[in-house]
Structure 1
Amino acid sequence: MAALFLNRCSALLLVLLLTGCEALLFYPQRQLLRDPAAVGLAYREVSIPVADSALHGWWLPAQEPRATLLFAHGNAENISTHLASVYWLPSEGINVLLVDYRGYGRSPGRPSLDNAVADLQASWHWLLAQGDAAPLPLLGFGQSLGASLMGVAVAREREALAGRLKGLVLDAGFADYASIAREQAAKAPLTWLLQLPVAWAMPKGYDLIDALPQLPRAPLLIVHGRQDTVVGVQHAQRLFERAAQPKQLYLYDGGHIGSFHDRLSRQRLLDFIADSLAD
């Protein structure tokens, strides 16, 4: 009886994975749990046009800005819960634009890989069109799924960002969707046998490792926690090997996207930004 139950569960899970793998990548949350004012930050709401609606975002201005950074969060929740990764940057002279993908927070629509990449492309175009931000150097920063989305978006906007993008930070990114799906399936007995079907069913054409050679020439910082149990550190090593110079690899003692909660990691990012802006 137990074996029959497990077989039926596995069959059902296989059907779900093969027909909706892309949907399993996104875990949006509509409610915003706080805003930047809750941590003492000045900010303004922004609306960024996309094909069928407009994205909601926050603009965090620095008093004496030296660069502007576009932040791409991971696959869960929304900008209100990922604010902790970047709220400290305006005090260091970095404007920050946080944007929710379609289906997250106050951004209407449905999340998908194609939509999310297009959302970041639209965000880059919005920044390029801003009179107050246009003269400043631009930086990109993506975390987890956001690292993959950011890499693909920047590669697709290579011509528009050439000469303007001065640095790209990819934190806790995974090399490709097939590998991360196979690794996650291997963690549970119920899905262990589904590693190959799940990997085969993942979307094609959005892998970060394939986007790296297409990036505009700019300094790249790959960040990863040695104890990351969500995305193994081997992904960072694969990405670093594939990336072109100039590049840096920063491995810290910590878990998934725990990087910029400590002073040393923040200083490493600030050093990278300073060096990138000096080039």
Structure 2
Amino acid sequence: MVLGLAWAYQRRLIYFPVGRPPPAASVIEGAREVVLSTGDGLRLGAWYVPGRGGAGETAVLVANGNAGERSLRAPLADALARRGLAVLLFDYRGYGGNPGTPSEQGLALDVRAAHRYLVEEAGFGPDRLVYYGESLGAAVVTELAAHSPPRGLVLRSPFTDLAAVGRYHYPYLPVRMLLRDRYPLTTHLAKVRRPVIVVYGTADSVVPAAQSRAVAESVPGATAVAIPGADHNDLALLDGPEIVEAVVKLAGS
């Protein structure tokens, strides 16, 4: 019975969507509401934030973690915009008032819609895009990068694959056998030939620091940035100087 319940309700343990964000302009100066169209016909809410005080030659695609909605990433977007970078914040299906139900396949379609917006509507070439993925979002953008290479990747608190995190939190369950959504980050990362920076907190209680280090060690030449004492949801890992500088560094590389 326990295994049956774990199989049936596992996505409720992985995805934690919440309701609609406030209007973009009330949260970030200059931000505007945009709509992303997915390959399976969904329309997703997103915010486009132009760069301020710079040439605006590079855009940052931000892929959220598994909880909250895009307004929670507004401090990061604002900090990057002040450094002259354009930013796209978006919510996955089922998040932020969007239609649909989240899944690994669905999130892959969602991030492709975000990429398509930046390339086809905002006019950024692939070599002018930086992908930033937060936790689960790190796996989402890495899968995208394997097919649509960016200028560089910043992976914040990444795991090697979802089963590894599951085994850490649920050691009594046969996690790998049960999982529907696997997010094999390091498998996809092996196909990426672009600069990679991994930022993680040494006191992360959600994704163990050892997993993030393993992600960095799996890529020759990757840079690992450890933030001492930082837990998974600490402000230092939201818009701290190490995070902002990692993105700016790749944007200027």
Q: Which residue of 1 aligns with 2:113?
A: 122
Cα displacement (A) at 1:266:
4.3
Kindly provide the CA deviation profile for residues 137-165 of structure 1, in whole angstroms up to 9, marking residues without a partner as x.
1100000111111111221x23xx3xxx2
**CA–CA distance in structure 2, aligned partners of residues 203 and 78 of structure 1:** 23
Distance 2:176 2:126 in 1: 43
Q: CA deviation at 1:87?
A: 2.2
Distance 1:200 1:147 in 2: 23
Output one character per residue of 1:7-30: Cα deviation in whole Å (capped at 9) or x when no partner: xxxx4x432212342442111112
Long gaps (5+) in structure 2: none
Does the CA-based 8 Å contact 2:68-2:95 persist in structure 1?
yes
The question of whether the paired residues in 2 share the 8 Å contact of 1:224 and 1:236 is answered with yes
Shift of 1:244: 3.4
CA RMSD of aligned residues (A): 2.2
Q: 1:229 to 1:137 in 2, by over 3 A?
A: same
Partner of 1:38: 26
Q: 3-state DSSP class of the match of 2:51?
A: coil
- Residue type of the alignment partner of 1:38: S
Distance 1:204 1:271 in 2: 32
Q: Which residue of 1 aligns with 2:74?
A: 83
Aligned to 2:161: 176
Q: 2:176 aligns with which of 171, 178, 199?
A: 199
1:125-140 paired onto structure 2 within 5 Å: 125-130=116-121, 132-134=123-125, 137-140=128-131
Classify 1:15/1:85 alpha carbon distance in 2 versus 1 (closer, same or farther; 3 Å): farther
**% identical equivalent positions:** 27
* Offset of residue 260 of structure 1: 4.3
Q: Give 1:48's match in structure 2, choosing from 17, 36, 39.
A: 36
- 1:252 aligned residue (209, 218, 227): 227
One-letter code aligned to 1:25? I
**SS of the residue aligned with 2:189?**
helix
Matched, 1:238 2:214: yes
| Shift in CA distance, 121/40, structure 1 to aligned 2, threshold 3 Å | closer
TM-score (norm 1): 0.81
Whether the aligned pair in 2 keeps the contact of 1:221 and 1:250 (CA below 8 Å) is yes
In 1, the alpha carbon distance for the partners of 2:18 and 2:67 equals: 7
Q: Secondary structure at the match of 2:158?
A: coil
| Aligned twin of 2:242 | 265
Tell whether the 8 Å contact from 2:131 to 2:141 is kept in structure 1 after alignment.
yes
**1:52: how far off?**
2.2
Report the residue type matching 2:16 in the other structure. Answer: Y
CA distance in 2 between counterparts of 1:40 and 1:121 reads 24
Q: Shift of the alpha carbon at 1:201?
A: 1.0
Q: CA 1:267–1:117 in structure 2 vs 1: closer, same or farther (change >3 Å)?
A: closer
How far has the Cα of 1:243 moved from its partner?
1.5
Aligned length: 248
Q: Distance in 2 between matches of 1:169 and 1:56?
A: 23
Alignment of 1:60-99 (within 5 A): 60-63=49-52, 64=54, 65-99=56-90
Q: Computing the radius of gyration over CA atoms, which structure comes out larger, 1 or 2?
A: 1
Q: CA deviation at 1:40?
A: 4.6
How high is the TM-score relative to the length of structure 2?
0.89
What's the offset of the Cα at 1:242? 1.1
Unaligned runs of 5+ in 1: 1-10, 187-192
